[in-house]
Structures are given as structure tokens and as C-alpha cells.
Amino acid sequence: MFRENALKAKIAAGEPTLGVWLQMSEPSIAEIASLVGYDCLILDNEHGFASLDTTVHMMRAAQAGNATCMVRCPGSDGDYMKRVLDAGAEALMIPMVESAAEAKAIVDACRYPPQGRRGYSAPTVRASGYGAAPDYADRANDNLLICVQIESDNAVAQAGAIAAVDGVDLVFIGVADLSGSIGLLGQPGDPKVTRQIEKAERAIRKAGKPLGTIPRPGHSLTDLVAEGYSFVAGLADAYLLRAGMQADVDAFRSSINQADKSTTKPAGKSAAKKTRKIKSK
């Protein structure tokens, strides 16, 4: 079903938006996440294990609510992006973009001519409702949201040029991989990482493009919105499921332990009663 890109419209209107990472490739989770009110579902085909078929099922399920479906591709392969777009992705997130030339190639692969070189099969693909939206090809270029990720020391140096590419709608700073690129993997709160993030922020803002990222130490989701980020995404479905299950197990074990303690009689008192009985005889 072709529809207006709600996420793109909200970002353009200056509204803060929230995404969730879906890595477990389960359509029911996509359905729930869309129904509870997330602005965007990031269908993670980079770190998740979804096939294209599963991704389509997740997009179908998400249409139970209003969330925009953003597919994070494994890389910048134009053929993969074309297939995902034909399948109905409303937004794409491309990881590890290192240069303006790469960003331009991504945009070209996602746009129909004359703005790009996306292959044409609009009347028959799911993205157009299999032809139910006859104006799909005329509207697809403007409706699509293209998000590129700045995730390395080298990319930070090119952040301004990458952001300035026409057709790049959102620049997402991947702080985890960025920290790893400067020898500080798993330490996104380190001052050296902070300086790189701030350098990228300045360049992207100067280019006039919206910013996206994930939380890091000292910068919660609400902090990031206050700092001017348009799009934030913190939690992943696998984490949420594990945390909920772990809390359930921990609460059960704790309650059982407390019940056992309250029903166990101290050994000293029991021994004392036995002694009194023997003496009385």
C-alpha cells in the first residue's frame, strides 16, 4: 500500500521522532510496535537475520498502525536497495557511508530517472500496490526518506560533504561503530568519541540536514531531542524481550525465596523444643 511518508513529514515539520530496532524478524513484533505508537520501525537487515520475504511480512504487519518502515540495508549495494524499494520500503538506512560520492551513488540507486537510475517496474511491484497507485513512480522519489549513517573517523571528516548531497534526507551518527573506529569500541561516552560526534554534528547542521542517533552515556533520548536531534532510536526488540523475560524470572525467584524464608523455622528453636520435651519425661 503506497501512502504518505509520515516520518519524513514529521521531520520536515520539526517534530521529534522515535524509532525502534527490529532485529528478530518477527512480523508480530512489528505489528505490536506499530500499534503502540513508534514513529518508525527500523527493520534491521544489517545486524538482523531477516530475508527479503520476512521483511515484506514485517512491512505488511506494520501497516496495522501508522509507523513508517525503514529498512536498514546490509550495505550500499544498489541492486539490494532496488529490491527493497520495490518491496515497499518507505525509508532506507544505509550503514557505513564514507564519502559524498558514495552518498550520491546511494541516492541515484534509489531514485527513478531523470533524478536517478532506479530500475523501473512500478506497475507490478508491491510498492505501488501492484499498480493500484498509478502515480507511484511520479511520487516515489519525493516520498522516500534516505538516511545515511556516519560511523567512522573517516566519515566524520567527510560529514559535511555527505550531508550536502541532494537526496540525503537524514544523517544518522552511529556512535558505537564510530567509537570502535578510533580504538574505543564499547566506550561511546569517552571524551575522544564525544569530540568526533560534535565535529560531525556541526558539519551536518551546517549542511542543513536533520540529525539522528542512538543514546549514549550522558545523552538520553530526551537529552538528544533537546540537543536538536530529529530522530532517535534506542531500544531493540531482542533487548526488550530479554529484559522483560529476565525481570519475570527474577521476580519469580525472589518471591519464592522470600516465601521459603518466611515458612522455615529457625533450627535453634526447634532443638530447644525437643530438649524441653525430653526433660519433662
Spell out the domain ranges in the chain.
6-280
Instruction: Kindly tell me if the per-residue pLDDT of 89 is higher than 80.
Output: yes
Listing DSSP states for 14-60 in one string gives: T--EEEEEE-S--HHHHHHHHHHT-SEEEEETTTS---HHHHHHHHH
Query: Could you tell me the pLDDT band of residue 109, with boundaries at 50, 70 and 90?
Result: very high
| Class of the domain covering 6-280 | alpha beta
Place of cell 567509537: 179
Q: What is the pLDDT of residue 281?
A: 44
**Candidate list 1, 9, 15, 47, residue with the active-site label:** 47
Q: What is the pLDDT of residue 262?
A: 81
Model-level pTM?
A: 0.90
> Tens digit of pLDDT for each residue in 26-68?
999 999 999 999 999 999 999 998 999 999 999 999 999 999 9
Q: What is the pLDDT of residue 263?
A: 74
Residue ranges in the chain assigned as alpha helix (H): 6-12, 27-36, 52-62, 78-86, 100-110, 136-143, 153-157, 159-163, 175-181, 191-206, 221-226, 237-263, 267-280
Q: What is the pLDDT of residue 178?
A: 98
Cα(269)–Cα(123) distance, integer angstroms: 84
Burial of 8 (0-12, 13-18, 19+ CB in 10 A): buried
Residue ranges in 63-127 assigned as alpha helix (H): 78-86, 100-110
Instruction: Kindly tell me if the per-residue pLDDT of 278 is higher than 50.
Output: no
Q: What is the pLDDT of residue 54?
A: 97
Q: What is the pLDDT of residue 260?
A: 83
Query: Could you tell me the pLDDT band of residue 1, with boundaries at 50, 70 and 90?
Result: confident
Q: What is the pLDDT of residue 261?
A: 83
Q: What is the pLDDT of residue 85?
A: 98
Q: Is residue 219 annotated as a catalytic residue, yes or no?
A: no
Cα(15)–Cα(231) distance, integer angstroms: 9
Q: What is the pLDDT of residue 264?
A: 61
Instruction: Find the mean pLDDT for residues 189-200.
Output: 98
> Tens digit of pLDDT for each residue in 232-269?
999 999 999 999 999 999 999 999 998 888 876 555 55
- Over its C-alpha atoms, the chain yields an Rg (Å, rounded) of 25
Report the percentage of the chain scoring pLDDT > 90.
91
